[in-house]
Amino acid sequence: MNLGKDIQPRPEIRTEELNELIVDSIQDVKGHEIIQLDLRNLDEASTDFFIVCHGDSHTQVAAIANKIVKKVKDETGINPVHVEGISNASWVLVDYFDTIIHIFYKETREFYQIEELWSDAVSKEIK
């Protein structure tokens, strides 16, 4: 019996490199108002980073989420821990543990104002 041989190690990638791939994916599908929130200095945060953006349609929101998952998987071999909200694509959450991506439909983003909820975080607008 050969225990451990079939277990593949998780590919190593720095969180900053992962975040760059995520942002590139969002830009590939023309996501709007990309914001990175650095939560590392907030005790109540359950992750290190939020990346927030929005799309103009539910179709675009789903396309952004799908592009992120595909590009990260293709380039790093990493799958998200969890994806939620893809069926209605009003607010899709893609969880990579250290980075959580919130992809909103524009009106949903305006309603929830997630950047305001985490206003203590260091915010970086990405052009």
Let me know if residue 1 belongs to a domain: no
Let me know if residue 2 belongs to a domain: no
Let me know if residue 47 belongs to a domain: yes
Cα dihedral 50→26→123→116 (10° resolution) = -70
pLDDT score, position 127: 84
Let me know if residue 107 belongs to a domain: yes
Number of domains in the chain: 1
Query: Tokens 């992750």 label which residue?
Result: 47
Q: What is the pLDDT along the chain (127 residues), one digit of tens a residue?
A: 444 444 444 567 899 999 999 999 999 999 999 999 999 999 999 999 999 999 999 999 999 999 999 999 999 999 999 999 999 999 999 999 999 999 999 999 999 999 999 999 999 999 8
Let me know if residue 10 belongs to a domain: no
* Residue 97 belongs to domain spanning: 15-126
DSSP secondary structure string for all residues of 102-113? EEEEHHHHHHH-
Let me know if residue 56 belongs to a domain: yes
Let me know if residue 68 belongs to a domain: yes
- Quick one: which of 125, 93, 126, 87 has its CA closest to 109? 93
pTM: 0.89
Other C-beta atoms within 10 Å of 9: how many?
Answer: 6
pLDDT score, position 13: 82
Let me know if residue 9 belongs to a domain: no
Which CATH number covers residue 22?
Answer: 3.30.460.10
pLDDT score, position 7: 43
